Amino acid sequence: MRIKWFSLVRITGLVLVLTYHFFQTQFTGGFIGVDIFFTFSGFLITSLMVDEFARSDNFKLMAFYGRRFYRIVPPLFIAVLLVLPLTYLIDHDFVTDIGKQVAAALGFTTNYFEIATGGSYENKFIPHLFVHTWSLAVEMHFYILWGLIAWLVAKISRRLASGRRALTRFRWGLGLLTTAFAIESFVMMYFGAVGLKDFSPVYFSSLTHCFPFFVGGLIGVLSGIKAQGPIYRWTTAHCNPIIAGAVMLISFILLVALGDRMKFDALQTYQGGLLLATVLAGIMIYGARLLHDHTPNLKEPRWMTFLADVSYSVYLYHWPLYVIFSHMMVNWLAALLTTVLSIILSALSYYVLEPVIAGKRAHVFGHTVTWRQLQLPVITAGVLLAVNTGVVVKNAPQLSTLEQNLWVSGIYQDIDKIGTTHEAVLAAVTPKKKQATPKGDQEKAPGVSIIGDSVTLGTRSYLGDHVANSNIDAEGDRTMNLAYKVMMNQQRSHTLRQYVVICIGTNALDDYEEQTMKIIHDLEPGHKLILMTPYNARADADWNSSKLAVLERRLPAKYKFITVADWGKIAAQHPEVFKGTDGVHFGGIRAGDILYAKVINQALTAAKQTPAKPA
């Protein structure tokens, strides 16, 4: 039994996800589309469980697992095989460690693989081609667990009663468990998000992000599909098509508004935002269920059912295709090409390949297609694609060029620190003749102390050779408060040089202004401070990094010892420096090294004309 208007729920989830991935800085909360999918899956699966028990007084666990396997696994395998040949079109860095990505995707462990590797849609140097399959992992974990629980509840219900009483017990059992699991999962996300800078661990985890399934499951228990519950029967008796349609429309509008306002890196997203999206999705599902019963003579448009049919496969294809195309062409064209090709491949998968693989007949433009007809081309193509997958995996680098560059730079920096520490110790124990301390700029050790993050670390070797008399201390994921600690440590050990360059900001936290002012206030007199504005090609004006740049540009008017090295402005004028990168790092691209050093040297030249920090 196909419920009309459920297609709108699926399409809403798909459009939100696609819009988020294509226009991440403009539609920052579209990731809630995944929560719509989760809620709908929980509703549909639980409703079908109730229907099966009402029909047969039983729930067959292995049959349930078999249906889930054929719906999820073949399209995923097909998508992986078809996507990997397209990786030859882009830089080899994009298949870095691709073997582990494929293994995680096909093994339904991508969510925990991404947690372990620090992956995210938002902050990956080179985005993983299959990072989006994290949601399939969470979904599969739900199916395995919930199927087993439902089977146990069915057995207990049959032992305690029979007929309608057994069904009532089955409903109550599932209803209580869905409520308990939903509350437990949300509470784990709520408290697990506290104190996090990167929220990927609570977003990706099956434990903290499974509550939408159980919220949907609770709605499924209450409404059912064929075996309607008493609450649903009462609701539908007091409803009409206008009310049901209004419920769907209002929840849809609120979901879009939420997608426009929510942010991945905001604490409130995990302490209520995702729950609100889940509740709205549940209301939309319930409204669609009511509208189905109140529009018996109205057919769902064919385009709507088509998009709903292919929505799962479109989700599978769109992310890797977009990653590939967005590094080959302008964003709008990449989004358009991704959408069109995803729909074509998904239709081929859903209407042709999946049915024949399952031993069913496929229907293509009025023609019946069987496995016997497609056996040779499908097997041949499958073997060739499988061989290609093996070749891509075998030849994939273990580290991207940027990661290699950061790793090597980190080693050299550690070596330099050992040398600096040795010199400082010798200086401390070697007696010196007392000399009068000159005033002004000469009070501090001559030279430049550069304190930076992963952007600086990536170009450290070049900077050391092209910024005269410089000492560089850079580290990935460094924030302003951590830069403050480095500066104060150098200041206490008397290794902080006259010119202090702070190249921090891409990882700016909410307290960026407070931490910046601490650097300004606690820097000792005699130093000159240079603040390098951050650059992120994806950042909007309301990102912390963008707001930090605005703050830094205003500071020289108040503090004469501060000079701004406006990397944020200069970098934006040279997009070629970031071609094929994440829009932040350019490590390994010589033009980026040259430009970065030039901006610092120009600021140092300008700083020579400014006074040092007064006492």
- CA separation, residue 546 to residues 167, 263, 552, 556 (Å): 58, 15, 10, 17
Task: Return the amino acid letter for 334.
Answer: A
User: Cα–Cα–Cα angle for 74, 79, 82, nearest 5°?
Assistant: 125
Express each pLDDT in 300-349 by its tens digit: 999 999 999 999 999 999 999 999 998 888 889 999 999 999 999 999 99
Asked whether the predicted pLDDT for residue 100 surpasses 60, the reply is: yes
Distance CA 480, CA 18 (A): 34
Cβ proximity of 126 and 94 under 8 Å: yes
Q: In 3D, which of 240, 249, 218, 243 has the Cα closest to residue 293?
A: 240
Strand partners, 530: 501, 563
Strand partners, 362: 369
Whole-number percent of the chain with pLDDT over 90:
61
Task: Return the amino acid letter for 490.
Answer: Q
Asked whether the predicted pLDDT for residue 426 surpasses 90, the reply is: no
Position 440 scores a pLDDT of 43
Asked whether the predicted pLDDT for residue 8 surpasses 90, the reply is: yes
Higher pLDDT, 539 or 449: 449
Express each pLDDT in 537-595 by its tens digit: 877 787 888 899 999 999 999 999 999 999 999 999 998 888 767 788 886 688 989 99
On the 0-12 / 13-18 / 19+ scale of CB atoms within 10 A, 163 is exposed
Domains of the chain: 6-395 (no CATH), 401-607 (3.40.50.1110)
* Confidence band, pLDDT 50/70/90 cuts, at residue 122: low
Position 433 scores a pLDDT of 52
Q: In 3D, which of 399, 405, 400 has the Cα closest to residue 457?
A: 405
Cβ proximity of 183 and 212 under 8 Å: no
Asked whether the predicted pLDDT for residue 292 surpasses 50, the reply is: yes
Express each pLDDT in 352-384 by its tens digit: 988 888 778 888 777 888 888 888 888 899 899
The number of angstroms, rounded, from the C-alpha of 158 to the middle of its chain's C-alpha atoms is 44
* Confidence band, pLDDT 50/70/90 cuts, at residue 441: very low
Q: In 3D, which of 64, 565, 34 has the Cα closest to residue 277?
A: 34
Strands 367-369 and 362-364: antiparallel
Express each pLDDT in 505-535 by its tens digit: 888 778 889 999 999 999 999 999 999 999 9
Cβ proximity of 555 and 562 under 8 Å: yes
- CA separation, residue 219 to residues 182, 252, 284 (Å): 12, 18, 11
The pTM of this model reads: 0.80
Lowest mean pLDDT among 23-27, 68-72, 426-430, 474-478: 426-430
Asked whether the predicted pLDDT for residue 415 surpasses 70, the reply is: no
Position 412 scores a pLDDT of 63
Distance CA 331, CA 342 (A): 16
Q: What is the mean pLDDT of residues 241-259?
A: 95
Task: Please provide the average confidence, as pLDDT, over all residues in the chain.
Answer: 88
Position 556 scores a pLDDT of 95
Concatenate the DSSP letters of all residues of 116-135 into one string. HHT--SSS-SS--TTGGGHH
Position 437 scores a pLDDT of 43
Distance CA 443, CA 525 (A): 9
Lowest mean pLDDT among 177-191, 431-445, 483-497, 587-601: 431-445
Position 436 scores a pLDDT of 47
Instruction: Identify the residue whose tokens are 């402005």.
Output: 569
Asked whether the predicted pLDDT for residue 442 surpasses 50, the reply is: no
Position 568 scores a pLDDT of 92
Distance CA 92, CA 90 (A): 6
Q: Hey, how many other C-beta atoms are within 10 angstroms of the C-beta on 464?
A: 17
Cβ proximity of 483 and 517 under 8 Å: no
Position 486 scores a pLDDT of 92
Backbone angles phi, psi at 297, to 5 degrees: -100, 5
Express each pLDDT in 129-159 by its tens digit: 999 999 999 999 999 999 999 999 999 999 8
